[in-house]
């Protein structure tokens, strides 16, 4: 697993026993939150695939759906590493982002590049939420001394960043231009 500089990340443990119980509780609560969010995406991404027009966009979302299923499995591994029961806690942020994406689909015309642009925008908002979450959780895992968990979370973080970049590439390839020419 290499970071942006092409080197292996260095996970060093820095714990503070005084704050650890409350921080551990926040960490676990956040894991349950993102676990719900990833499962929610597994259910909602097929709707975006169906609504997309561009084959590049359909492929990108289809590939990310498969990756999201892997993220769910990784989070189940995180629960196991932490010695915790697998539990989901409703993620209001992801629910809102998914609803926003559905609203974009409903408010744009089927078969248009404009709808595809909207799907990309909604998808990138989700990716940015996931990037922020996995980035924070990776750091928190390191702080709490869960270096094995940090490695698992970092792997997902890297994939979320790549998915975001792919969406940008798809938009810039031709979808944004096509949408600008639609009447």
For the chain, list the domains and their CATH numbers: 20-181 (1.20.1260.10)
pLDDT at 183 over 90: no
Residue 29's alpha-carbon distances to 44, 53, 93, in angstroms, are 23, 37, 14
Q: What is the pLDDT of residue 8?
A: 58
- Place 109 in a pLDDT band, splitting at 50, 70 and 90: very high
Query: Averaged over 85-96, what is the pLDDT?
Result: 97
Q: What is the pLDDT of residue 16?
A: 53
- Place 92 in a pLDDT band, splitting at 50, 70 and 90: very high
- Residue by residue, DSSP assigns the chain as ---TTSS---------TTTHHHHHHHHHHHHHHHHHHHHHHHHHHHHHHHH---HHHHHHHHHHHHHHHHHHHHHHHHHHHHT--------HHHHHHHHHHHHHHHHS-TT-HHHHHHHHHHHHHHHHHHHHHHHHHHHHHHHTT-HHHHHHHHHHHHHHHHHHHHHHHHIIIIIHHHHHH--
Query: Averaged over 89-111, what is the pLDDT?
Result: 96
pLDDT at 140 over 60: yes
Over residues 32-42, the pLDDT tens digits come to 999 999 999 99
Over residues 54-90, the pLDDT tens digits come to 999 999 999 999 999 999 999 999 999 999 999 999 9
Q: What is the pLDDT of residue 84?
A: 96
Q: What is the mean pLDDT of the chain?
A: 92
- Place 20 in a pLDDT band, splitting at 50, 70 and 90: confident
């Amino acid at each position: 697993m290499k970071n942006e500089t092409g080197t292996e990340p260095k996970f060093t443990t820095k714990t503070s026993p005084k704050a650890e119980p409350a921080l551990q509780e926040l960490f676990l609560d956040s894991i349950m939150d993102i676990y719900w969010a990833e499962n929610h995406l597994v259910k909602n991404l097929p709707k975006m695939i169906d609504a997309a027009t561009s084959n590049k966009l359909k492929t990108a979302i289809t590939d990310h759906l498969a990756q999201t299923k892997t993220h769910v499995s990784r989070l189940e591994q995180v629960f196991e590493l932490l010695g915790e029961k697998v539990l989901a806690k409703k993620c209001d942020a992801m629910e809102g982002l998914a609803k926003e994406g559905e609203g974009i689909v409903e408010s744009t015309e089927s078969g248009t590049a404009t709808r595809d642009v909207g799907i990309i925008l909604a998808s990138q908002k989700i990716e940015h939420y996931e990037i922020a979450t996995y980035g924070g959780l990776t750091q928190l895992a390191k702080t709490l001394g869960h270096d094995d968990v940090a490695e698992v979370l970092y792997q997902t973080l890297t994939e979320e960043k790549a998915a975001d970049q792919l969406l940008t590439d798809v938009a810039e390839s031709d979808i944004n231009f096509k949408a600008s020419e639609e009447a």
